Amino acid sequence: MSDSDLQIRPLAGALGAEILGVDLTKSLGASDFQSIRRAFLEHGAVFFRGQDLNPETQMAFGRRFGELDVHPIAIGLEDTPEVIRVFKPAGESAFFGTGWHTDNSFFEEPSAATMLHGVVIPPHGGDTLFASMERAYEALSATMKQMLDGLSAVHCASPAYSPSVTGDSKYSGDAPMSYRETDILDREVEHPVVRTHPETGRRSLYVNQMFTRRIAGLSKGESEALLSFLFDHCATPDFTARFRWDRGSVALWDNRCLQHYALDDYQQFERLMMRVTICGDRPR
């Protein structure tokens, strides 16, 4: 495959690009892979269509970007624990990722990127929204930027994964996805409210509604007011892009500078996705 086969088409003004002319089941040459990597860093998320991946080929492509995580709570496939089977049966509401968040921000070293492959896709609904946290940071006033610099936020898994929130069935093996109980559920970690991307050097907001509990060093009222403003600001439509899934679609996004939201508007249909996440480093 030559470079001339690869095409990059921006998805929206804020972020994202579709990449055409590549087959992710095959080993990409160095030049094509570097083109994809540059597009990933420039646009924050890249999308592919018509990819017939299995867990091994999905992991192989993911590993081109770094070591893969094994999630401490959501249980992966038996033979390939790095791959999480994200399944929603027909007639049920979606429950995984349905809210603005950054994947695994409750890790001490949060996942750098996420790769999601569409296997069974509803005929309509189930789109994923993405929001650029670089755009969100850039749009703040100089005074607000100065105030946020140096602040840290506390992140925790429990608001999304605690049995009291998500239900006991996932922990007993009686649900479409299975979770394991671990002390990470209630563990709190601090990350900067504004982080610097380790590869691009660009700055972005790093708080999210799903996992961020409070701003360290502020009173409860101060923290709630500031986070409420930031959560609303981060979801500003001008900072977003929307991706519509097809069978075989692949999305690869950068958790270091994006948030995303899985829409729950396809209750009557089933959906099956396969997810891997790529290890990151501690935000700075």
What residues are annotated to the active site? 101, 103, 260, 275
Cross-strand bridge partners of residue 138: none
Whether 16 contacts 45, CB under 8 Å: yes
d(CA 107, CA 126) in angstroms, rounded, equals 27
> Residue 223: CB partners within 8 Å, gap ≥ 6?
214, 215
| Strand, helix or coil for residue 224 | helix
The amino acid at 165: V
Backbone angles phi, psi at 88, to 5 degrees: -125, 115
> How wide is the angle at C-alpha 159 spanned by C-alphas 133 and 66, nearest 5°?
50
Alpha helix (H) residue ranges in 156-207: 158-161, 163-166, 169-172
Helices vs strands, H then E, count in the chain:
8, 15
